[in-house]
Structure 1
Amino acid sequence: MKKRTNYYQGLAADYSRPGLVEEPLKSDLIALAVNINKMQEKSLPAIDEDYTMARIEQENREWWPTHCEALRQGRGDILTGEYRQELVYFCQDGPFYGIEEQKVREQHWWALIAQPGVCMAWPIVMFHGEFVWFEWNCIDDQTSETLAKGSVSWVRRGHRGGCYFKGEQLTFYRDVFSSPELLQLITRN
């Protein structure tokens, strides 16, 4: 039988299920996320001898836990900052071209998956150069009901480039649009 993979081996934190990440690491990851977003350059950097694919993959591995914590904390400001202005986003409600086009729709998704009483987890994450592929799920803390799940592919040019392509399959079981109260939580920052 094939040996199972620990997808979080070598990463700063394990987000494969709820309850694995404690303070002060959560706060440290949020601070790192803010700093990573500040590194994004106006133009997509070239992949060359100074900015290699190996370095980009290492930066994507460093970034990954910050992304997970930003979602768990409902930090829409950080999540938006991960994208390039010219983002291309393919999903069932898309395609969306540019960071403004997807913003209205995606904030509802973020509000639903980051709502109080729900925990998001990413049981699988894989890296290959500038490609990051993962599966996610959201579970209600009270009912153990699956609210939503999906699989996502990001093309992310490390810290200097950010995400310029995202393809996602989302399935929402309980809600499709968030309430105004939940939407306020995700857009407060």
Structure 2
Amino acid sequence: MQKPVNYYTFWGLEADFSKPGLVSPQKQEELLQKGEYFVSLKEDEVPEVNANYTWAQIEQENKDWWPTHCAALRTGGERGNNILSGEYHKNLVYLCQDGPFVGTEDQKERETHWWALLSQPGVTMCWPIVFFWREFVHFEWKCVDDATNETASKGLVVWIRRGHRGGCYYKSEQLTFYRDVYAPESLLPPG
């Protein structure tokens, strides 16, 4: 039987988001800046994989990107939401229990509620499991109540992300919310 591992150490990732309290505010800010930069590299079309843009490069870009995604979700608010929205390719296909969603507009209202719930005060989102293979990123997440340590929500997600140049063009997600399914107005971004 294989011994459990810390996936952040296993993959050599820049920051460990497997549980609360492992990422300093300074590192969080660095990751947000990188996330904004990675979003700026996205091209209009999903790039081809070839000798100039290899599977190995795409997989490494996804490993570099992963901590920035976690930082954006933990941050929430307008800045975090802008990064998260920018991670999607314009032709996104998103399959989940409320979907399917196609493009980047269909899911926007629903995901605004999800992101607000996941980054609400008093709850810390954690990603204990993450796997990478070429353009595939598979992860499990949970939100832990800071006061009670209860799991408020959890999920399992698969992204197909063509590195920084392509962004996420396919997402499949199973979400389970144990106590909140729509965010109160006070947690939602203005507008």
Shorter-chain TM-score range: over 0.9
* Partner amino acid, structure 2, of 1:122: W
Q: Deviations over 1:42-78 (max 9, x none)?
A: 1110000000000000000000000000000001111
Q: Distance in 1 between matches of 2:188 and 2:99?
A: 20
Q: Distance in 1 between matches of 2:121 and 2:33?
A: 22
Q: What is the aligned counterpart of 1:78 among 70, 78, 83? A: 83
Q: What is the aligned counterpart of 1:54 among 43, 53, 56? A: 56
Question: Within 5 Å, which residues of 2 pair with 1:36-185?
Answer: 36-74=38-76, 75-184=80-189
Q: CA deviation at 1:83?
A: 0.2
Instruction: Compute the TM-score of the two structures, normalised by the length of structure 1.
Output: 0.96
Corresponding residue of 2:2: 2
| SS state at 1:4 partner | coil
| SS state at 2:106 partner | helix
- Structure 2: give runs of 5+ residues left out of the alignment: none
Number of positions where the alignment pairs a residue of Structure 1 with one of Structure 2: 186
Q: CA deviation at 1:140?
A: 1.1
* Partner amino acid, structure 1, of 2:68: T
Superposed CA RMSD in Å reads 1.0
Give 4+ residue runs of structure 1 displaced > 3 Å after superposition: none
Q: What is the aligned counterpart of 1:31 among 33, 37, 40? A: 33
Q: Deviations over 1:134-174 (max 9, x none)?
A: 00000111122211000000000000000000000000010
- Structure 1: give runs of 5+ residues left out of the alignment: none
Q: CA deviation at 1:2?
A: 1.8
Q: Percent identity?
A: 58
Instruction: Compute the TM-score of the two structures, normalised by the length of structure 2.
Output: 0.95
Q: Judge which range, 1-10 or 59-68, deviates more.
A: 1-10
Q: Distance in 2 between matches of 1:137 and 1:6?
A: 16
